[in-house]
């Protein structure tokens, strides 16, 4: 596990000057591909009162492509603006199940100018996969990508 190397890769992606949508997919790919315990990685973006799934990478698509703020672990993190770390998803009644193999989850809000604009959601097939280093690392990533998440959807998605 190499957080410094991943941050450097993300920095290079952000400085490439490509469209925001490509940037977010590339960041998701880095997170998924560099850390074995990051089984499924997705970015949700706020649209009104909902979280809408943007770029993701993992073995399977999720049915939860739109989650109302306040629902699930994703919705809790968006509502409070605080990172959620769930060591055992089966023991958390808020959990919205996506994949049968998921054992633990981390959701890191992405804030821009004091407002939650999205979040990074990572599921792991390992129980209690996310430690304080993962949390600090992903909070740093959220800070780095927040400008790319704060633009209106019309400029994020190329037509």
Which residue ranges make up the site for ligand SME (CB under 6 A)? Answer: 42, 62, 64, 67, 72-75, 95-96, 98, 105, 121, 123
Q: Which helix (H) or strand (E) holds 136?
A: helix 132-149
Specify whether the CB–CB gap between 35 and 141 falls below 8 A.
no
For ligand SME, the closer CB: 62 or 112: 62
Shortest spacing between CB 99 and ligand SME, in angstroms: 7
For ligand SME, the closer CB: 104 or 150: 104
For ligand SME, the closer CB: 16 or 101: 101
For ligand SME, the closer CB: 9 or 54: 54
Q: Which residues contact 56 (CB under 8 A, 6 or more apart)?
A: 28, 40, 41, 42, 43, 62
Which residue of this chain has its Cβ atom nearest to ligand SME in the complex?
Answer: 72
User: CA–CA separation, 77 vs 85, rounded Å?
Assistant: 10
User: CA–CA separation, 3 vs 137, rounded Å?
Assistant: 7
Shortest spacing between CB 21 and ligand SME, in angstroms: 19
Neighbours of 128 (CB within 10 A): 12
Shortest spacing between CB 158 and ligand SME, in angstroms: 24
Neighbours of 56 (CB within 10 A): 20
Shortest spacing between CB 61 and ligand SME, in angstroms: 9
């Amino acid at each position: 596990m190499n957080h410094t190397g991943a941050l450097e890769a993300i920095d290079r992606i952000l400085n490439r000057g490509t469209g925001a949508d490509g940037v977010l997919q590339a960041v998701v790919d880095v997170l998924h591909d560099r850390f074995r315990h990051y089984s499924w990685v997705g970015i949700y973006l706020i649209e009104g009162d909902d979280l809408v799934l943007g770029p993701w990478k993992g073995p399977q698509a999720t049915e939860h492509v739109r989650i109302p703020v306040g629902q699930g672990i994703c919705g809790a993190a968006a509502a409070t603006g605080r990172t959620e770390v769930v060591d055992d998803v089966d023991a958390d009644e808020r959990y919205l199940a996506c994949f049968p193999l998921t054992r633990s989850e981390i959701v890191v809000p992405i804030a821009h100018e004091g407002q939650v604009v999205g979040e990074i959601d990572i599921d792991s097939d390992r129980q209690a996969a996310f430690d304080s280093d993962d949390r600090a690392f992903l909070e740093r990533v959220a800070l780095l990508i927040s400008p790319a998440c704060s633009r209106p959807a019309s400029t994020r998605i190329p037509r």
